[in-house]
Each structure stands twice: as structure tokens, then as C-alpha cells.
Amino acid sequence: MEITLNKRFSHGWALNTSYVYGKSTGLISQGRGNASLGTSTLFNDPNAHIYAYGTLDLDARHQVKVQGMLTGPLGINLSGYFRFLSGGTWTRSISSSRLGVSLRQTAETIYAEERGARRLPNTTLLDLRLEKTFKISNFRLSVFADCFNVFNQGVATSVWGNSSNPTYAFERMMTISAPRLFQLGARVEFN
């Protein structure tokens, strides 16, 4: 379900907002490997079906997005993009080989709880841009400064989910979101 509100550019400003409520469930993850291309091994072994159905990895239950632009003094434009996303899901798994269980087939890794039972932290991001355009004879020169991830929020985007594998501590952060980033740039447009 999505609700959007738009204020077209007039009187020096524009605003676009949206809220999305979603829920994605199923057997095959849309975000990992080639499963979404139809090359899943899910049906090769009945053990793979243990807790296989549930909330998928990229399920962001709540999403709020706000984009806006404001024309300021001296023709300097300020624009921003704010977004809040519910954290993606993950599921604790266990491996037969790490538990000392010898199987006739190869070692098996299965979900130890309902798929999507755990969530990563929520993400809150704000990107800002200041831009000034100069008109020079038959072309326009725009200079801009960007700041991505203004709050410098670093949240886990994946964690170690296998509780039977001592290689890493269970729930250890494996990847993190990108840090704050500044960028300066210029654009030339010919008439």
C-alpha cells in the first residue's frame, strides 16, 4: 500500500512525499544469489524446506520518503532527500556438520526458526544538495555541493546468522551502510 503527496514546483519550492506499507513472504529470496532467476536448490533436498516459507530478506515493512527543493536567495537551490526504511529480515540458521551430526548426504544448513523472525536495524538517511547556476553567453554552468548520509548513520546491513558455526560470533555485524560522503561537482549545459 502506498500513499503519496506531491506539491509541484511553484512559488520557489516543491515537495514529494510517500509512505509505503509492504509485506513480502515466500519461499525464494529476491535478494540473494540466483534464486530469483529460477536456479534455486530449494527443491533438491527436503531439509531445505524447514522454516523455508516466511518473511523474505528484503522486506522493508515501512518506508517513508520525502524529497524537496527550495529556491533560496541569490538563486541558490537547496534540495534534499530523506528516507526511513524498516530494517530487512534475517533468520538464525544451524549447520549439521558444526553440531556433530553426520548425514548420509553432504552437510546441511537449515533455518532454526521461522524465516524472517529477526530484523536488522532501521535506516534513516538524509541527502542534501546546494546548487548555483550561472548563465554565461550560450551555456549554463552549475556548481553544486552534496552531502550524502548527513547523520552519518552506520547500521548493519547483514549479520552472521549461523549460531552453530564458531567462525564468527552469532549476530556479528558483517556489513555496514555507507558513511557520510561529501561531493563537489559542476555541470555544463549548452543551449
Q: Does 150 fall in a domain? A: no
Reported confidence tier of residue 173, pLDDT bands at 50, 70, 90: very high
Cα separation of 120 and 162, whole Å? 15
Domain around 30: 2-126+160-173
Give the model's pLDDT for residue 41: 67
The predicted-structure confidence for 129-142, as pLDDT tens digits, reads as follows: 999 999 998 899 99
Report the amino acid identity of residue 46.
Answer: P
Q: Does 152 fall in a domain? A: no
Q: Does 134 fall in a domain? A: no
3 state SS of 9 = strand
Cα separation of 44 and 119, whole Å? 28
User: Does this model's pTM top 0.85?
Assistant: no
Cα separation of 42 and 52, whole Å? 9
C-alpha cell at 69: 527543493
Residue 171 in this model has a pLDDT that exceeds 70: yes
Mean pLDDT score of the chain, rounded to an integer? Answer: 88
Give the model's pLDDT for residue 51: 87
Q: Does 90 fall in a domain? A: yes
Query: In this prediction, what percent of the chain has a pLDDT beyond 70?
Result: 87
If we measure between CA atoms, which residue out of 130, 17, 126 comes closest to residue 71? 130
The predicted-structure confidence for 17-43, as pLDDT tens digits, reads as follows: 999 999 989 887 655 555 555 666 667
Cα dist from 161 to 59, 92, 109, 170, whole Å: 17, 5, 11, 6
Cα separation of 158 and 118, whole Å? 11
Cα separation of 4 and 65, whole Å? 9
Q: Does 143 fall in a domain? A: no
Query: In this prediction, what percent of the chain has a pLDDT beyond 90?
Result: 64
Number of domains in the chain: 1
Q: Does 8 fall in a domain? A: yes
C-alpha cell at 32: 540473494
The predicted-structure confidence for 51-92, as pLDDT tens digits, reads as follows: 889 998 888 899 999 999 999 999 999 999 999 999 999 999
Q: Does 154 fall in a domain? A: no
Give the model's pLDDT for residue 33: 52
Q: Does 187 fall in a domain? A: no
Q: Work out the burial of residue 78: count CB atoms within 10 Å of its CB; fewer than 13 is exposed, 13-18 middle, 19 or more buried.
A: middle
Cα separation of 29 and 34, whole Å? 9
